[in-house]
Structure 1
Amino acid sequence: MAFKHLFKAKLNWISSPKKYSKTHTIAIEGKEILDVSAAKVFKGDPALHNPEDLLLSAVVSCHMMSYLYVCSQNGIEVVSYQDNAEADLEVSHTGSGRFTAIRLYPKVVIRQIDKMEEALNLHVKANELCFIANSCNFPIFHFPSCEVI
């Protein structure tokens, strides 16, 4: 049996008399309002979040949470988790574009030396469980590393 969940976001944009501003807000009930703009390369406000940053952030965050879940299911104690993720966006001469790949570089620190190989391999399972990764139509590559303390 599948469970369905509904997520809502309210976008608010107001026109400027001089030009169409790309800055807007997104409100999600019970959370701080996000100030959003286009990416700097698309003449947006570089100080604000942009949809491209938010998509990459969703993928990297979801992967980490899925990974921590599968590690807990397999008795692996994760001490720390870091990632320096990258995303490739291609834009055609017509102005349309799409993400073509995301690369995750998770650096995990665990406590058990005998679980190191399993900890590395669990990134595959985490990707299979990740809601956001399952919703993307481009490849997500993983280049994990693992240390033991």
Structure 2
Amino acid sequence: MTGRVHIYEASVTWTGNLGQGTPKYSGYDRSHVARIAGKPDLALSADPAFRGNPAMYNPEELLVVAMSSCHMLWYLHLCANAGIRVGAYEDRPSGRLLESGKEKGHFESILLSPSVTIETGDVQEALRLHQEAHEACFIANSVNFPVILEPSIKQPPTA
């Protein structure tokens, strides 16, 4: 398969050494920092269920956010091309992760529930474009679990 290749580079540095490295599972902090050139640092930790800091983002949350963000960006692009003017877009995505054994787990699914207000355009076409956005989304095309779409479309009241 041929196509353009895009490279995404970052650095991830563990910052949770409490002075003894990793002497035991409960003996170190899960804090780490992601750095991407020219952007603010992103402070991360593990999920609180895995001894992480609940005030920091964790990788599982970022995967859910990445999926939602990718879908939204494709959707807005497709709506603009179709002459559907989106006035507002909000999603409340959720991911379902199953711990399937000792130190193993996987995402079972991510649910996207975008609520979209369209200013102009056909409601049915606006709904259909969610499936097209899903098929185009780079993140959705890269995972091995279902991404469930439950969009809703609203139109502002007519005067």
Bin of the TM-score, shorter chain as denominator length: over 0.9
User: What TM-score comes out, normalization by structure 1 length?
Assistant: 0.95
The farther-off stretch of 10-19 and 40-49 is 10-19
1:101 aligns to 2:101 (yes or no): no
Residue identity matched to 1:40: P
CA distance in 1, matches of 2:135, 2:100: 30
2:47 counterpart letter in structure 1: A
The one-letter code matched in structure 2 to 1:44 is: G
TM-score normalised per structure 2? 0.90
1:73 to 49, 70, 81: 81
Structure 2: any 5+ residue segments left out of the alignment?
A: 21-26
> After superposition, what is the alpha-carbon deviation per residue over 1:97-140, rounded to whole angstroms, capped at 9, x for unaligned?
0101011101000012x511100111000001101111011000
Q: Distance in 2 between matches of 1:13 and 1:108?
A: 39
SS at match of 1:146: strand
- 1:124 is aligned, of 117, 124, 131, to 131
Q: Partners of 1:42 and 1:82 in 2: how far apart?
A: 29
Tell me whether 1:148 sits opposite 2:144 in the alignment.
Answer: no
Looking at structure 2, the residues matched to 63 and 8 of structure 1 have their Cα atoms a distance apart, in angstroms, of 22
Is 1:4 the counterpart of 2:5? The answer is yes
**Matching residue within 34, 42, 50 for 2:42:** 34
1:134 aligned residue? 141
Show the counterpart of 2:92: 84
Report how far residue 93 of structure 1 moved: 3.0
* Counterpart residue identity of residue 19, structure 2: P
Code of the residue aligned with 1:120 in structure 2: it is: L
Greater relative CO, 1 or 2 (CA 8 Å, sep 6+): 1
Kindly report structure 1 stretches of 4+ aligned residues shifted beyond 3 Å. Answer: none
Question: Secondary structure of the residue that 1:79 maps to in structure 2?
Answer: strand
Q: Which runs of 5+ in 1 are unaligned?
A: none
- From the CA coordinates, give the structure whose radius of gyration is larger: 2
Aligned equivalents of 1:136, 1:81: Cα separation in 2: 24
Alignment: residue pair count: 148
Letter in 1 for 2:98: E
User: What is the identity, as a one-letter code, of the residue corresponding to 1:16?
Assistant: L
**Aligned partner letter, 1:17:** G
